[in-house]
Structure 1
Amino acid sequence: MADTEMREPTFWVLTALAFERRHGYALISETQALSQGRVNLKATTLYAALDRLEREGLIAADGDERVDGRLRRYFRLTDLGADRLQQEVSRMELSARQARERLRLRPGLTRGAMA
């Protein structure tokens, strides 16, 4: 399991690619939607992140397509990327369980507040 926390934009890019391959603009839209607006990537930031994730082996280029004269580069999640995403999900779930348990044990907290 990875020792370091994954940055939120990376988490959402990998999550967006977990379902199916995507091109850059679709990744920008999907990461914004999945993160409920917390992550709003610009094209230059996204492509720098995609280059880094590709070098790390977490994603792979998955073809190009020309639409209305513009080239769309597609990317897909690799098995290594899926494993790393699963590790991050497990880390986050463990952290949330620990925090929830501490809150549950906190004196004065009503049970209804822990919904």
Structure 2
Amino acid sequence: MIQISEENNHAALSEATYYILLSLLTPQHGYGIMQFVKKLSNDRVTLAPGTLYGAIKALLDKGWIELNDTDSLKRKKIYLITKIGYQVIEAEISRLKELYQNGIEITGGKDK
């Protein structure tokens, strides 16, 4: 079991959650999130609608994202990352940097 320190009180984010939070630094609707993630990951990550909307519900419940607006003409909900969500993504980026640096150091690899 991984023990998380008090200043970093969330577990590691799933790749899908990480990309969803990044995508919501700019207000997006569901389809926009899916397209952003696919493009950012060079087509490696494709979010299925069920995965995306399940994650959105969980992120809303945690207060990491919020409903920003609804385009009533197109019936699309627009989401945006919250201050707490931004802190979570910053903590995750720091965690990933540490993992990367430790890997480079231990393997004797080069930073590319």
What TM-score does the superposition give when structure 1 sets the normalisation length? 0.84
RMSD between superposed Cα atoms in Å: 1.4
Contact 1:54/1:60 (<8 A) preserved: yes
Query: Which residue in the other structure is 1:107 paired with?
Result: none
What code does the residue aligned with 1:4 have? Answer: A
Query: Which residue in the other structure is 1:6 paired with?
Result: 13
Query: Which residue in the other structure is 1:16 paired with?
Result: 23
Query: Which residue in the other structure is 1:110 paired with?
Result: none
Give 1 or 2: higher helix fraction: 1
Structure 1 position 91, deviation (Å): 0.2
What code does the residue aligned with 1:74 have? Answer: I
Q: 1:100 aligns with which of 82, 104, 109?
A: 104
Contact 1:11/1:85 (<8 A) preserved: yes
Identity of aligned residues (%): 24
Instruction: Give the alignment of 1:27-66 within 5 angstroms.
Output: 27-66=33-72
What code does the residue aligned with 1:96 have? Answer: Y
Structure 2, unaligned stretches of length 5 or more?
1-7
Stretches (4+) displaced over 2 A: none
Structure 1 position 38, deviation (Å): 2.5
Structure 1 position 3, deviation (Å): 4.8
What TM-score does the superposition give when structure 2 sets the normalisation length? 0.86
Structure of larger gyration radius? 1
